[in-house]
Structure 1
Amino acid sequence: MFLCVAGFFPDGHENECVQFELDVAPEFNQAVLDRVGWSSLEEGVRHGVVALTATQVRQIESVLGQPIPSDLDICISVFA
């Protein structure tokens, strides 16, 4: 299982395809899970796709050391 951060155009945009996708490296899983409030990947599976707040996005950006677009709606999910 792995964490995936994805970004979509805001609601109402005609293009509903994924515009940004980032698979979280395993060594960052726990730090990202902590930012989302999940205790494990299994808990993330139960939640499905979850929208992230702007604060969570910036925190995850800091953990990963990688920018995440601020003009998209960002969500997180666990893929098995």
Structure 2
Amino acid sequence: MYLSISGFLPDEEEDDSLQFDLDLDESFNGQIVQLLGHGSLNAMAEGEWLLTNEQVTEISKIIGVPLPTNLDLFIGVLA
């Protein structure tokens, strides 16, 4: 299982299509699960979670990739 980040325009009434998609390397799972305050990856698998601006910044630091700040970013678990 791995984490995936999806991004959508903040005003979905105009355009609700996927604007950003990034599958994260499994090596980051532990750090990101801890950052988000979930007990485990399995606990996160219950849905997709909207990321705050602070979480986006911290995840960018962990993965070493700048994430878009102009989108609503969600994180979820994929098998």
With structure 1 as the length reference, what TM-score do the two structures score?
Answer: 0.91
Give the match for residue 19 of structure 1.
19
Q: Distance in 2 between matches of 1:19 and 1:36?
A: 23
Structure 1 residue 79: deviation in Å? Answer: 1.3
Q: Which runs of 5+ in 1 are unaligned?
A: none
Instruction: Write the deviation string for residues 5-26 of structure 1: whole angstroms up to 9, x where unpaired.
Output: 1110003442111111111101
Partner of 2:57: 58
The one-letter code matched in structure 1 to 2:55 is: Q
TM-score by length of 2: 0.92
- Partners of 1:31 and 1:58 lie apart in 2 by 14
- Unpaired stretches in structure 2, ≥5 consecutive residues: none
Structure 1 runs of 4+ with >2 Å offset: none
Percent sequence identity over matched residues?
Answer: 38
> Could you say what the CA RMSD is over the residues aligned between the two structures, in angstroms?
1.1
1:59 Cα shift? 0.3
Q: How many residues align?
A: 79
